[in-house]
Amino acid sequence: MTLALSAALRDALEKWLATRGAVHGLAANTVAAYRADLLSHLAFMVAHLGEGGGVRVLRAVRIADMRAWMAHERAHQVSGRSLARKLSAVKNFYRWLSEREGFDATAILSIRAPKAPEKLPRPLEADAAMAIIDTAGEIAREDWISARDMAVLTLLYGCGLRISEALSLNMADAPLPDTLRITGKGGKTRLVPVIAPARDVVDRYAALMPFAREADAPLFRGKRGGRLSARQAQKVMEQGRLMLGLPKSATPHALRHSFATHLLNAGGDLRAIQDLLGHVSLATTQGYTAVDQVSLMEVYDRTHPRAGAGS
């Protein structure tokens, strides 16, 4: 379907993506997701309206057409949360294009996203988190791969790293220092303390790793020496959870959730945890922590600068 789009429309899309990347500092995978979402939407509209694949077809889009697209997405099992994300990208693109091409996009911009049900993270219990890390070390036949898998998962649970952040580390980062400087989403940089067990397991892996050790080479390698992919790490978690009888929610990202929740349950400062995770919003950090409401409010009262202040 995407082949029906004109060169002008594709060019407009690429210019918008370049603007988003330059102005907002979006990561490459985020830009790629926007591109896929927009190509799918535009292809639908071209087919739905049957007016060719040029920019002018978008001038004809009305509320009913947008609702038809949303119904099409839901019919293809797109969740409310995913549809809301896609709609946000679509509206941003139409807003930019309408200003550039001089047409009224009010009808499109007035469409509201479906209300997504609140999806709370499901962190692992501390024992389960430790067990899946240990189990990861028993899956591969090669010692260096077993050590690698344990090291990656330990960084997620012990330091709260995103899987992409752990896998972006290079040989220059080993041996790990007491504090890592991590560049996360949106180019936001933060300092993350590295616990001793994480340093030890990474040291063990690095000693066994059979590939060249140039400073700019990836720290975590696949079997052929290239940078380990997130999918490979996810497969290790999948095998581990099956061996331990854990639910499907036991993913690499669940270890990051567990890091935050276990720190908060132990009395950690909510704002400090926010900084460790690299969240812009305190509300996002609250969403990562699965503690009872009373405990959360006690921490909130101690940490929020407005808590307890007179109205």
Q: What is the pLDDT of residues 235-282, one digit of tens each?
A: 999 999 888 888 888 888 888 878 777 666 666 555 666 666 665 555
Residue 207 has pLDDT above 90, yes or no: yes
Q: What is the mean pLDDT of the chain?
A: 80
Identify which has the larger pLDDT, 223 or 115. Answer: 223
Q: How far is CA 207 from CA 67, 130, 221, 247, in A?
A: 57, 22, 13, 33
Instruction: Specify the pLDDT at position 32.
Output: 86
Residue 49 has pLDDT above 80, yes or no: yes
Q: 20-29 pLDDT, tens per residue?
A: 776 666 677 7
Identify which has the larger pLDDT, 79 or 307. Answer: 79
Q: How far is CA 11 from CA 8, 54, 297, in A?
A: 5, 11, 50
Cross-strand pairs, 227: 221
Residue 310 has pLDDT above 60, yes or no: no
Q: Residue 252 class from Cβ within 10 Å (0-12 exposed, 13-18 middle, 19+ buried)?
A: buried
- Which pTM was predicted? 0.55
Work out the pLDDT band at 1, boundaries 50, 70, 90.
Answer: very low
Instruction: Specify the pLDDT at position 262.
Output: 61
Question: Which among 140, 145, 217, 136 is positioned nearest to 174, based on CA atoms?
Answer: 217
Question: Which among 185, 112, 194 is positioned nearest to 157, based on CA atoms?
Answer: 194
Average pLDDT estimate for 61-76: 89
Q: 278-305 pLDDT, tens per residue?
A: 655 555 555 555 444 444 445 445 555 5
How many of the other CB atoms lie within 10 Å of CB of 79?
A: 14
Just list the catalytic residues.
162, 185, 253, 256, 279, 288
Instruction: Specify the pLDDT at position 158.
Output: 83
Q: 163-198 pLDDT, tens per residue?
A: 999 999 999 999 999 888 888 777 778 888 888 999
Q: 118-171 pLDDT, tens per residue?
A: 555 577 788 888 898 999 988 888 999 999 999 999 998 888 888 999 999 999
Tell me which amino acid residue 286 is.
Q
Go through the domains of the chain in sequence order and give each one's CATH number: 2-109 (1.10.150), 126-255 (1.10.443.10)
Instruction: Specify the pLDDT at position 266.
Output: 61
Instruction: Specify the pLDDT at position 294.
Output: 44
Instruction: Specify the pLDDT at position 275.
Output: 62
